[in-house]
Amino acid sequence: MADKKGRAGTPKNTSGRGQRDLKVKVKTAKGRKTSSTRWLQRQLNDPYVAAAKRDGYRGRAAYKILDLDEKFRFLLPGARVVDLGCAPGGWCQVAVKRTNALGERTSKPVGKVLGIDLQEVDEIAGAEIHQLDFLDEGADDLVKGWLGGPADVVMSDMAPFSSGHKQTDHLRIMALVEAAAYFAFDVLEEGGTFIAKVLAGGAENDVLLLLKKNFTKVVHVKPPSSRKDSSEKFVIATGFKGRPDDLGTG
């Protein structure tokens, strides 16, 4: 990582000037919505956006998985990783480096990173990208075939398109997380890890109970790189117990 960051995934201001001096103000142009102006101003003043450009990542979301891996250490050299909803590819980029998927560290085992998305995603060095709906019948067998065995990690930064209605969006993302969890049950190695983005709300209890049945430890985390005004959190489930015939029932 670049030496301008205090620890992995945490950009740091080293200019000697205060934050107030660095802030960029954007005026609302004629014909542009106020919300668009706010978004643009936030992007211009976001240290993680600037860090992503500097470090060659495809988006600021890369620092979220870096933060989570710093804490839980699941992207180990030699690990087989599935990134569901991988576009634009920042999480895959991080996974490639941390699992040694390019084989650059000759003394370490070589990992395998598989990116899955509904849309076409530009190639990523060291990752294998497939355009696939993970909900399709037989998708789990395809993924295990591409990996050459079960996965050590299934991770998801997926979120449905926003409807603008908070409760509806929360229910949609929790349904997506539950679907991703069942997919993980099909492809994970015993002892594996599942990571997924959730939104704070009140409908996540069923998903958490499902995960707690099937993993030895389940926690909620809001990484430092997640915007303070965002309701997103991440659920980290470690120590997959394996898949008995009646998994997830009863």
d(CA 52, CA 88): 12
Distance set, CA 95 to CA 18, 23, 232 (Å): 34, 32, 21
Q: Which candidate in 197, 217, 222, 241 is catalytic?
A: 197
Is 103 annotated as belonging to a binding site? Answer: no
Tally the C-alpha atoms within 13 A of residue 153's C-alpha that lie toward its C-beta. Answer: 30
Closest among 54, 44, 38 to 1, alpha carbons compared: 54
Is 133 annotated as belonging to a binding site? Answer: yes
- Sequence-ordered strand ranges (E) for 60-137: 80-84, 112-117, 127-131
> Bridge partners of 219?
236
Annotated catalytic, 112?
no
> Bridge partners of 249?
none
Is 91 annotated as belonging to a binding site? Answer: yes
Distance set, CA 243 to CA 111, 171, 179, 194, 247 (Å): 23, 26, 16, 14, 6
Q: Which amino acid is at 15?
A: S
Is 55 annotated as belonging to a binding site? Answer: no
Is 157 annotated as belonging to a binding site? Answer: yes
First to last CA, the chain: 46
Active-site residue list: 197
Which residues fall in the annotated binding site for S-adenosyl-L-methionine? 89, 91, 117, 133, 157
Feature table: binding site: 89, 91, 117, 133, 157
